[in-house]
Amino acid sequence: MTGGGSATAAGDPRGQEAVDTLVQDAARVQTAQELAQLLRALRRRHARRSRDSELSYRELATRTGWSHGAIAEYLTGRTLPPTDRLDALLRVLGADAAELGAVATARDRVEESRRRGQAAEAPSEPVGGGLPQVPRQLPAVPPHFVGRAAELAALSELAHRPSEAGMVVISAVAGMAGIGKTALAVQIGHRLAERFPDGQLFVDLHGFTEGVARVQPAQALDRLLRDVGVPGERIPSGLEERAALWRSVLAGRRMLVVLDNAATEEQVQPLLPGASGCLVLVTSRRRLTGLESTHAVSLDMLPQADAVTLFLRTADRPELIADAPEVLEAVQLCGRLPLAIRIAAARLKHRRVWTVSDLVSRLREIAGLATLDDGQRSIHAALHLSYQHLSASAQRLYRLLGLPPGPDVEAYAAAALTAGTPDEASRLLDGLVDDHMLQEPSPGRFQLHDLVRAHAAELAAERETPAQRQAALTRLLDHYRHTAASAMTVAYPYERHRRPTVATAHTPAPDVDDPNGAQHWLDTELPNLLAAVQHAAQHGWPEHAWHLAATLDQHLLTRGRVRDMQTLHQQTLNLARELGNHRAEIDALNGLGFVERMLGHRDPAADHHGQALRIACDIGDRPGEMQALNGLGYIHRMRGRHEQAVDHYGQALRIAREIGDRSGEMQALTGLGYTHFMLGHYELAGDHHEQALHIAQDIGDRVGERIALDGLGVLHRLAGRFEQAGDNYARALRIARDIGDRVGELRMLNSLGSVHWSLGRSEQADDHYTRALRIAQDIGDHVGALYALNSLGELHLKLGRHSQAAGLYQQALDLARDLDSSNWQFEAVQGLGRLHHATGHHNLALEHHEQALQLATDLEQPDDLARAHDGLAQAHRALGQPDEARRHWQDALDILAKLGTDHTEELQTNAPNIRAHLADLDRLLS
């Protein structure tokens, strides 16, 4: 598929079609990117026919009823549109019946190509590179699994024909818990694992877990996408967009996905693959009849023979006889439910002086007191029997384990609950596992079955006073807050002064003294920490909520958990306003402003930073004022308001130096460096970047060091010092890869590509740009993609590959317009002008360079003004207008002289070349 016609059509008033016809173009589509290019060409044709501007993402979202993000996914090729959505989008864009069929066929061809593994839409490498991630997340095979032969055979048979439904729902009798749904799913999962070589995923949706928030579909998709290697930066914010990306990632893969403990069809539907090849096992207490194309497997109580076998294996008492009346009665009192049988039999195993008759007598007594349904009564009886025979310390830990809001605990958290020691907690936890009252899905991590958690919480409410329950949770929150603060200090020492000072916990904490250990603790405990923030915010621990949210901010950013950052900052903002805590309010507003900047939402970002600035000035919070000014400086810089940017960065810099905030000083200097570069103040820009580099190295901020090296490399490259620029970029690339900074990696690949291109190394430049573009598309970095697209466009143009260059420039222009980025619109329009000049379309070249000149004038960027004047001069000369050509070349030369440089970012626009052109004109006219 070529892009030359598309680019021509975009600027040709005669409305020349992109390629011969759209139907012919569709026949050549092989990838999602090519399909997206076709859709963008159709959008341009729609604009010409309606004699209006192209429909923006937001306008298309309004007309289709979808989200703006979903439209962006489809028109940039990051997500393959579902068939029904593609048809609807084509109709909005005015496609006729023949075109509808041709494009639909193209879409199906892309999907089939993915299935065969011919397209690489999904990321195959983890964030830091290395071997492809193949997740193996199934819990350990349940001990003493018995029976369910018919169900296992049915599920196994389905796995042999995954091209049919591709999904299985395991459903229990309504309301029946503890019947073995998860055990069956895990058992068959391990048996079938080799049939799904791309991995096995396991997610507990907590549909019926008392005291734990139900996992929302968007949360589950966030985790699933990360588990298959999608970096957090690439994961979109909306549910629809995440679901679309999930379906795209799974296309062509063979994976087993276990969705455990689902509550409703609505919770499950977005998590399902869009095509066959994957097997999904869903466990639920409800019959999920609203899911289409499912194979339901309803579990009933174990047959008596299987129930007895499970009882005997768990009890491990060789003297027991299978058909003894007391054994039969014991399993009947357990309701023939696997969970209850395991718990009761474990009690018999550990009480060697008991007979089965003793066990039966106690089960009868407890079951007769319970006012529950049959299944719950059986499990309640077994649990209560085991609980009665625990030591007092084990009983207390069991009760308190019903209180934490997170999904699991380890020994230090358990010790915090009981105010004991980790060694004692480990011993008690191991004992509860032996009694089948706790699960240990991974070494040292302990979970409670939903019914067990409910039983423990019930006992805590009965036997612990409100003050005792509050004290236990306070100790746990203290533990999380203190250990999180310690880990963050080790992992991110350069921002320690910005995090709140927290009190030392009065219970032991794990060793997080080395960076790897600190990062591991933060990653492992993150679900518990996020749950703790929410619980603290909602149940009377506002200070803990604020401290944890502010403490975790940088780690969430590093892990790409932008939406979690947004949630925590919004919770903190609400609390701060409720309590009148202005410092916390300022931190939350600046945090929200930063998140909105990352999401590309400049107006709300400016509003948040503006509010933070006003409050900080009112109360004299200098650090908060500095952060707000840096944020506003960034927004002004991105909008091309360079004077305002310099003013805000300058104020931030003064405050940072007055209060001794070196990290804030570095950020302000970096912002000033890039802003002065845009203004053509190269010496001043270099001075600021040098200062920022020294500070970053002094305080150990590797990201800051990488950014400063990049800024200095730009200046060296502009001055023609390409080897020095390459050295800076190479150092920055090593840093980015060392710390797993994918954004930094793609930036440096783009920059190194520019150096290679400047030195005439076209093959190396092409390789670097292409790798950068791949990463940018992988993580959803629009700026990185724009840089790579424009650079590749220039490279193909210079190598005479005009069709490829046209497609790349047009794709860059479409994206820049949708992002409302004047800077990148200039680059694309300037490139298209050069292209039209090279292909002999000089009027079109003139039109594009006039647009570029207007954009550069609006942006007040002299380097770009010189480039636009050079392009206009070339076009006028080709059109036989030497006086106009002379005027524009002289304007360009005057700008370079004023800047004190002979070069611009564009290789061909330099003082020697311009002087040569003027000399040629003189000879021509003489």
DSSP code at position 261: E
Residues 6+ apart with CB under 8 A from 369: none
Q: Half-sphere exposure of 365 toward its Cβ, with a 13 Å CA cutoff? A: 9
Please name every residue paired with 333 in a beta bridge, in sequence order, or none if there are none.
Answer: none
Total length of the chain: 926
Where are the strands (E) in 131-253, listed by range? 167-172, 200-204
> What pLDDT does 672 receive?
96
Q: What is the mean pLDDT of each run of 10 residues along the chain (926 residues)?
A: 34 39 76 81 83 75 73 73 80 82 80 53 36 72 78 76 50 54 85 85 86 86 86 72 85 86 89 81 81 74 87 87 86 82 84 84 66 54 77 94 93 96 93 83 85 85 94 96 94 80 92 88 93 92 91 81 85 90 93 81 89 96 96 87 93 96 94 90 94 93 91 88 92 85 85 90 92 77 84 92 91 82 89 94 93 88 91 94 93 89 82 91 79
Residues 6+ apart with CB under 8 A from 209: 261, 450, 453
Residues 6+ apart with CB under 8 A from 4: 802, 803, 805, 806, 807
- Which pairing describes strands 445-447 and 439-442: parallel, antiparallel, or unpaired? antiparallel
> What pLDDT does 734 receive?
92
Question: Closest by alpha carbon to 110, among 101, 100, 123, 120?
Answer: 120
> What pLDDT does 21 receive?
64
> What pLDDT does 146 receive?
85
> What pLDDT does 916 receive?
92
DSSP code at position 685: H
Task: Check: CB of residue 444 under 8 Å from CB of residue 380.
Answer: no
CA 401, 404, 409, 413 dihedral sign is negative
Cα 314 to Cα 380: distance, rounded to the nearest angstrom = 18
> What pLDDT does 563 receive?
78
> What pLDDT does 652 receive?
97
Alpha helix (H) residue ranges in 679-701: 682-699
Q: Is the pTM of this model over 0.75?
A: no
Sheet holding 256-262, edge to edge: 200-204, 256-262, 279-284, 167-172, 295-299
First to last CA, the chain: 48
What separation in angstroms does the CA of 553 have from each of 211, 497, 609, 844?
A: 25, 13, 17, 49
Q: Half-sphere exposure of 854 toward its Cβ, with a 13 Å CA cutoff? A: 8
Both tokens of residue 126? 């983890």
Q: In degrees, to the nearest 5, what angle opens at C-alpha 836 toward C-alphas 907 and 768?
A: 45
What is the separation of C-alpha 434 from the centre of its chain, rounded to a whole number of angstroms?
Answer: 38
Both tokens of residue 156? 């196994």
SS3 of residue 282 by DSSP: strand
> What pLDDT does 67 receive?
65
What is the separation of C-alpha 242 from the centre of its chain, rounded to a whole number of angstroms?
Answer: 9
Cα 60 to Cα 783: distance, rounded to the nearest angstrom = 22
> What pLDDT does 888 receive?
94
Task: Check: CB of residue 289 under 8 Å from CB of residue 233.
Answer: no
Cα 44 to Cα 716: distance, rounded to the nearest angstrom = 39
Region of 346 please: left (phi>0), alpha (psi -120 to 50) or beta: alpha
